[in-house]
A = this chain, B = another copy of it.
Amino acid sequence: MSVPGSPIAPKPPRRRHHGDLRRALVLAGLEAIEELGVAALTIRGLARRLGVSHAAPAHHFPDKLALLSAVASEGFRRFETALREEARAGATPRQRMQRIGRAYVRFALDHPATFRVMFGRELADCSQATSELQQASASAYAVLQETAEAAAGSREAGEVHAFAGWALVHGAALLYLDGALRPRLPADSAGRAAFEELVDAVLSRGPPAARRGSGGRAQKREAEANGPPPRRLPRKRASS
């Protein structure tokens, strides 16, 4: 089904009306998604925005999912860049791990719609066909895993390590984005700040299973050395 060889940029674009319509579609798609959400992204709308006919995009992407997949791949590339930059800025493996976690959440909060497309359901069902997306995604995860292995010391511990950290920041970001915390945290900028503090606290202290009764002193000490203690979640409002 798939031709062997380098999957990206197999042929130089012919650049007719827009220089490179394919690239323009991906970039405009990213913009449109961030502005209005995924549901507002239409092929015809993109075509109008770029000044081409409504069927022009079909010559670069067989269907809408393929276009979404290309948009998500671009998102993953930017995501990976952000993570790598942050990892490079950390001194110790442990610091790098925490910085990556924060950068992960920050990216999700800064580009919510892109993040959801990257990890969204639509692509999971059909992504077997788009190796570009799989590769971009795996490459981003590799940043986490490399850092986790260095922080954990061993390879196998690093794998569980990386998965747990990944799941933690991923879930936290999505819970915030999806509004699941909204009854407790407002969606405004103050709510975001409180949320990021909370994530910091969890990243420093470690989640519940490790915090049972005995032996919490060292953790607490380190938490205070790594950042401010978390502000408590505000109580739910009494009335709407």
Contact = CB atoms under 8 A, between A and B. Distances in A.
Interface of A is mostly: helix
A203 B209 contact: yes
B171 A211 contact: no
B183 A138 contact: yes
A156, A202, A215, A236: which has the most chain B beta carbons within 10 Å? A202
Contact of A119 (B157, B160, B174): B174
Contacts of A124: 177-179
B164 A202 contact: yes
A210 interface: yes
A218 B218 CA distance: 14
Q: Within the oligomer, what is the number of copies of this chain?
A: 2
A205 interface: yes
A98, A112, A204, A207: which has the most chain B beta carbons within 10 Å? A207
A170 B175 contact: yes
Interface string A162-182: 111111111110110111111
Contacts of A240: 131
Given A208-B151, A208-B152, A166 B171 contact: yes
A38 B181 CA distance: 23
A160 B214 contact: no
A217 to B, nearest CB: 9
B218 A215 contact: yes
A111 interface: no
13 contacts: A39-B122, A97-B208, A119-B174, A119-B178, A127-B179, A131-B240, A153-B213, A160-B201, A165-B209, A168-B168, A204-B209, A205-B209, A212-B222
